[in-house]
Amino acid sequence: MSKIGKRAIPLTSAKVQIEGNNVTVTGAKASFKHELPDGFSATVEGKNLQITAAQKNRRARMLWGLHRALLANKVKGAETGFEKKLTIVGLGFKAQLAGRKVTLTLGYTHKIDYELPAEVTLEIDKTGQNLIFRSSDKFQLGNVCDAIRSFRPPEPYKGTGIIREGDVIIRKAGKTKAAA
């Protein structure tokens, strides 16, 4: 049995429609469609969504846990949405938002422009260094945050760069002057 796959997905405010292998999740924030592979079925039991697998082989158990996790993310995204925080650390490093375009000043000779997808919203504080990304699609949100972070990953000597909330940057000692 899959430890993840056999757990039920709690439904608080989302509505679920099941048509064969297609599962449609509709909530306050968004609506998602998910197609289960052959051999899997979804049922709504009270306030829980349950996924069952017809076979119990290794591949079926792996797919069972995967699709349960994907559906749980879609249910949570439809109900409440997801949020990720990035912090820009460095002298003169900042971000500005104009419409759907983020302009990043990260110590390079040029500014970096990044166009946000329609599903992702961004909130920047007045210093321009604390960024809060929100979306109902966890996959899209992660891709956007990784793309922004890739412009200036944190470096271990000074600790500057774009840091995700909760990341631990292991600092290294710089060169020391040789004793004469």
Instruction: Note the pLDDT tens digit of each residue in 4-47.
Output: 888 999 999 889 999 989 999 999 989 999 999 998 999 998 89
- Average pLDDT for 92-113: 94
Tell me: do 67 and 89 sit in the same domain: no
Could you report how far apart the first and last alpha carbons of the chain are, in Å?
Answer: 66
Residue 67 covered by a domain: yes
Domain extent, residue 126, equals 82-164
Tell me: do 93 and 153 sit in the same domain: yes
Instruction: Residue 106: give its domain's CATH number.
Output: 3.90.930.12
What does pTM read for this prediction?
A: 0.87
Please tell me the predicted confidence (pLDDT) of residue 1: 54
**Is 154:166 a contact under the CB 8 Å cutoff?**
no
**Is 163:89 a contact under the CB 8 Å cutoff?**
yes
Tell me: do 37 and 70 sit in the same domain: yes
Based on the structure, what is the number of domains in the chain? 2
In whole angstroms, how far apart are CA 177 and each of 15, 57, 157? Answer: 65, 61, 16
In whole angstroms, how far apart are CA 157 and each of 151, 168, 175? Answer: 17, 13, 10
Please tell me the predicted confidence (pLDDT) of residue 180: 55
Whether residue 2 is predicted with pLDDT greater than 90 in this model: the reply is: no
Tell me: do 66 and 101 sit in the same domain: no
Tell me: do 96 and 74 sit in the same domain: no
The pLDDT confidence band at residue 178, using thresholds 50, 70 and 90, is: low
